Chains A and B, each alone.
Chain A
Amino acid sequence: MFNLKFKTVKEFALIFRLKDISDFKPSPEQMQERMNWLAGIASQNKLADKGNTLLPFAANARTIQSNNVITDGAYTEIKEFISGYIVVKADTIDEAVEMAKANPIFDQVGGSIEVREVLQRD
């Protein structure tokens, strides 16, 4: 009830999207760079949840539509598909954006990162 008042640090989900399924499997070097980025955030004690990587392949993903139509694979209506997410701690959304901008995927394969503030429930 009273914890909300003292909570100044906000949490933001960073949702990763890739353009192509073939970008999903990073090379060892790319993986190392991504890990460095993630560990860098954790090193600042700003990682709230290390999140998950979500498998996008036909065997690992289903999309259920409202008309009960089920399709195999990740949701790709918007072309890009979600490859994973993490949750970070930041004072402002701008700070979270700065963290996201430093992510190596932009140099590696492109894609996008959506930054979304997490609703704090009391």
Chain B
Amino acid sequence: MTAVLCRHFGLVHIEVAEDIASDTFLKASEHWAIHGVPDHPTAWLYTVARNKIKDYFKRKSVFENKVKDALTPNEIEIEKDLEFNNQIIADSQLAMIFAVSSPTNSIEAQISLALQILCGFSVEEIANAFLTNRETIKKRLQRARNNLRNDNFQINGLTETDIKTRLDTVLKTLYLLFNEGYFSRTNSQLIRKELCSEALRLTLVLTESQLTNTPQVNALLALMCFQSSRLDARTGVNGEAILFDKQDKSLWDKTLIDRGNYYLVNACNGKEISKYHLEAGIAYWHTTPIKDNKWENILQLYNRLILIAYSPITALNRVFAFSKVYGNETAITEVEKLTLLESNYYHELLGYLYSSIDINTAIQHYTKAINLTQSKIEQKTLKQEIGRLLEIKK
């Protein structure tokens, strides 16, 4: 709703739009509790919102005419009625994604804004997702909003060129939003799922518009579908991470895997192979049983991915695949070349690879990983693993 209102008002009035949106929902919760949910809830909400907007501008013009004694014509046409149909809603959300993905803001700020404006998260919820306090998030959002205002990005006049030049940033924001959920530092499974499904929903919006239904967008969506299919399987009852090998595959969501396949096929309509294509390809192979050169294929995709997008995590994941093809011993030499001594994942991987070769060295690496990670859950998982190794040693 905020997105639709902003489309009407312009981003300058984002606070007003948000106030009106939340007032409207407040009114709805009071009204519906007594009178029941109306036949057309969306229409009902927007009628209330429309009236509130009229009230707001009436008050505003009284204030401006009397107090400021200015005859500046109102830039916003109140008469031009707000239209709310599904088409406009989708377009408005699309426009807002492009607005919040402003390169003037840091990536964290972009994600925070997306969560607040597009996903309706409270400051509290965003703070939880980022494992930080309300104040930090409040300040971050404030700064980001100021930047957006100065940016003077016109939601209504979104041209094809705007869309094309910003699409990369938009995809990055959505990708990070998803990862924030998928690899979240928060223990709450609920928040994680919500972040992932919001990112998925927004990416889906992109596929619904011809302008943005590009191979890259489809590749990203495929990636999100494949990853989401494992959300339930990769977390245990106590929130601990369950490694891929040990996941109960019956918990994988087949419907999402099918959707992933569908979008991956769509993604292959063009010539370009983006990092989303490669990552989606890797995620696809993960959903297949171990045969048909599964790990060889995964390794080849990682080889290509690391050439276009280096990151320490990709480097480590690549060696993991390498170990599946060439064995632990050869892989250890490959890992040690990476010298990511400050990374807990680096030591975790070495611990894992050494556990079948040299238990003492494995334990040393796991211990280093425990000291380096902030995550309580991870520490617990690693301690269990050390315990298991000590049992074997006896």
Contact = CB atoms under 8 A, between A and B. Distances in A.
Interface of A: 32, 35-36, 38-40, 42-45, 47, 50
Interface string B308-327: 00100011001100100000
In the A-B complex, the 6 residue pairs with the closest CB atoms: A39-B303, A43-B315, A42-B306, A35-B303, A39-B306, A45-B310
A39 B306 CA distance: 6
A47 B300 CA distance: 17
A39 B318 CA distance: 9
Interface residues of B, number: 18
Nearest to B299: A36
A49 to B, nearest CB: 10
A36 B310 contact: no
Interface of B: 296, 299-300, 302-304, 306-307, 310, 314-315, 318-319, 322, 334, 337-339
A36 B303 contact: yes
14 contacts: A32-B296, A35-B300, A38-B303, A38-B307, A39-B307, A39-B318, A40-B334, A42-B310, A43-B306, A43-B319, A43-B337, A44-B315, A44-B337, A45-B310
Nearest to B308: A50
B303 A44 contact: no
Majority-rule SS of B interface residues: helix
A36 B296 CA distance: 11
Contacts of B310: 42-43, 45, 47
A11 B86 CA distance: 55
A47 B314 CA distance: 15
A98 to B, nearest CB: 10
Contacts of B303: 35-36, 38-39
Contacts of B319: 43
B345 to A, nearest CB: 13
A74 B310 CA distance: 33
A32 B338 CA distance: 20
Given A38-B307, A50-B307, A43 B300 contact: no
Nearest to A39: B303
A44 B338 contact: yes
Contacts of B307: 38-39, 42, 47, 50
A39 B315 CA distance: 9
Contacts of A40: 334, 337
Given A43-B337, A44-B315, A45-B315, 15 more contacts: A32-B296, A35-B300, A35-B303, A36-B299, A38-B303, A39-B302, A39-B303, A39-B304, A39-B306, A39-B307, A42-B306, A42-B307, A43-B315, A47-B310, A50-B307
